[in-house]
Amino acid sequence: MNRVIDACERSGLPIYFTRDWHPPRHISFKSRGGPWPPHCVQGTSGAEFHPKLRVPPDAVIISKGDDADAEAYSGFQGTDLEGRLRKAEVGEIFLGGLTTDYCVRLSTLDAIKAGFKVNVIEDCIRAVDVRQGDGARAIADMRQAGARFVASGEVIKMMASTQQ
């Protein structure tokens, strides 16, 4: 992902990060009957990006899941991501991150529904696989919806040839 981020920066392409940004008693937590242990609680180290992930200073950070009573796997859900992409005249998205079967899947499906062309960077995603095969099923769903799967090396090459 870092190499793709570098390539985007070199090509002058806008970069968007989405992150879970949950209140301490979020609806997705086991304490409230949800499926997940507490995670990504606002202002705690658990909500920070991985220290080895390169977050350029001018990248846009989109926080989601900040309503205690609503789950938001998709980066488009309850955020201004779609508006920001349109304002930047983005037509095509290259997407990677965690997790294949939840946030990547739902962000991809929402992006396609909103009319964006979506490329999922196949070596930059990873599934939770709560049930075995969830990741594979998610990939099939995304393909079915029209997502294209590309290797990061291809994306980097493409970006190098479209210097802006």
110 touches Zn ion (CB under 5 A): no
Instruction: Select 20 or 101, whichever has its Cβ closest to Zn ion.
Output: 20
Instruction: Select 21 or 94, whichever has its Cβ closest to Zn ion.
Output: 21
Instruction: Select 20 or 139, whichever has its Cβ closest to Zn ion.
Output: 20
Q: What is the CA radius of gyration of the chain?
A: 16
Exposure pattern of 125-153 as b/e (b: 16+ CB <10 Å)? bebbeeeeebbebbbeebeeeebeebebe
Taking the C-alpha atoms of residue 125 and residue 142, their distance in angstroms, rounded to an integer, is: 13
For CA atoms 102, 87, 14, 51, give the dihedral sign. negative
Comparing every residue's Cβ against Zn ion, the nearest one is 20
101 touches Zn ion (CB under 5 A): no
Could you tell me which stretch among 3-11, 17-25, 117-125, 133-141 binds Zn ion (CB under 5 A)? 17-25
Taking the C-alpha atoms of residue 8 and residue 106, their distance in angstroms, rounded to an integer, is: 23
20 touches Zn ion (CB under 5 A): yes
What is the size of the binding site for Zn ion (CB under 5 A)? 1
Binding site for Zn ion (CB under 5 A): 20
